[in-house]
Amino acid sequence: METRHCQILILGGGPGGYVCAIRAGQLGLNTVLVEAGPLGGTCLNVGCIPSKALIHAADLFHKQATPNDLGIAADNPRIDVAQTQAWKDSIVTKLTRGVVGLLTASNVTVVTGRGTILDGKTMRAETPDGPCRITCDALVIATGARPTEIPDLPFGGKVISSTEALSLHAIPKTLAVVGGGYIGLEIGTAMAKLGSQVTIIEAADRVLPQYDAALTRPVATRLGALGVDLRLSSKALGLSEAGDLQIEERGSRSGIAAEHVLVAVGRTPVTQGFGLEDLMLTMAGPHIAVDPVCATSMRGVFAIGDVTGEPMLAHRAMAQGVIVAEHVAGLASRWDKRAVPAVCFTDPEIVAVGALPSDDMASVSFPFAANGRALTMERSDGFVRAVYDPATEVITGLQAVGHGASELAGEFALALEMSATLRDLSDTIHAHPTLSEAVQEVGHLALGHALHL
């Protein structure tokens, strides 16, 4: 069996793993990345990128198919789903090739094969050319997460996960979505715009329950306008013999006819099937416990990304990957981030950074209805909100809900990382006409001198 040695060995080629490898290579470390599937992981291949491509296509189709006041009319708009999928796949291919090129430029050795951890310093990889043994100074676990399965609705047949939903070659006439979180709403909204009759089943009393009602209300309103049937405070029970989805809604049972049932109730860390249990690492529930440099309880073993818990976001995994690479290279790098932005690509979009409103913090909102750019895009629902310490006026959180609001995530995160105050927001000149003006306006509003409200 071939044996090789490296300074840093990474198991998993998702956003955390490949970014860790690139940074390690840049720092001159002898780096090996082991991945059985396509590089880029869930996010690039069957998650973030494909879903945003589907959302974009659905938006364009829906605008063509919906009467408007702009004098624009399209007769009998249609969509060729096979061509749409081919376009989506071409984007994925372009990006995965880009990842390969970046790894090559950073002198990273990519081993294509299934890796099994033998101990904290050794891994066996089953490659197309046969097994190989890899030893290392530092081991990084970046195995990600998979869609969570419900015992009463196991994946298979008409019950699908987000992976299958993003690869459908025909728009289902009816679609039931179990779970009103961001994954279910993103895909459900896109399918509704493409002509599917969508029903969303959510156990909580509103969609996106991790956010407050003010942020989620515009999303629920838009779902209603799209004809989506929201079944709140409801529980999915399984399929009937006839294939209908059985639900319990406020104490009563009913059935929902659906061509497909999308189960989108979260993601489960991948911790089985590659020898992790033999390391006997300290766990934090189902996740691997890590410290500020992403080190586990075993010396020389690190973990990054979804396998380390919430928030399960690609950009968090990337940041962790950089920290590990720099730490292994001897740099003083550690997790000291003040904020991790979260974006829901719903309609309208939601972006949240930092603290949500609370009793000990003040908050103020500026509506997009008073923003010129939002009005020109025909989507002025929503607002920008600042949460701040009333004593110091330091910003502790920024949120927005609105069309195109996701592009504010960078400004929001930067404001929190730089410990911006209300005056910092209000005194910074923002270009006109842009959605970002609402950020400046929310500063004006909080300081008592709103200019456009």
Task: Tell me, yes or no, if 169 is annotated catalytic.
Answer: no
User: How many Cα neighbours within 13 Å face the side chain of 257?
Assistant: 4
Beta strands 229-231 and 383-388, pairing class: unpaired
CA nearest neighbour of 42 among 14, 21, 16, 22: 14
Q: Hey, what are 52's tokens?
A: 């945003």
Q: Could you give the CA distance from residue 158 to residue 179 in angstroms, rounded to a whole number?
A: 16
Tokens representing 287?
């996740």
What is the C-alpha to C-alpha distance for residues 100 and 172, in angstroms, rounded to an integer? 35
Count CB atoms within 10 A of the CB of residue 154: 11
- Within 10 A of 25 (CB to CB), how many other CB atoms are there? 22
Catalytic residue among 169, 260, 327, 432: 432
- Do residues 205 and 232 make contact, with C-beta atoms less than 8 angstroms apart? yes
Distance CA 187, CA 60 (A): 15
Cα–Cα distance, 452 to 371 (Å, whole number): 8
CB-based contacts of 59: which residues, under 8 Å, 6+ apart?
193, 347
CA distance 324 to 443: 37
Bridge partners (DSSP) listed for residue 175: 198, 260
Cβ atoms 321, 20 nearer than 8 A = yes
Local structure of 238: helix, strand or coil: strand
Q: Is the dihedral of CA 368, 369, 372, 378 positive or negative?
A: positive
C-alpha of 80 from chain center: 27
How many degrees, rounded to 5, is the angle at CA 140 between CA 301 and CA 332? 75
- Cα→Cα distances 226→62, 151, 196, 267, Å: 10, 31, 10, 27
Q: Which residues face 260 on adjacent strands? A: 175
CA distance 136 to 347: 46
Question: Looking at the annotation, which residues are catalytic?
Answer: 432
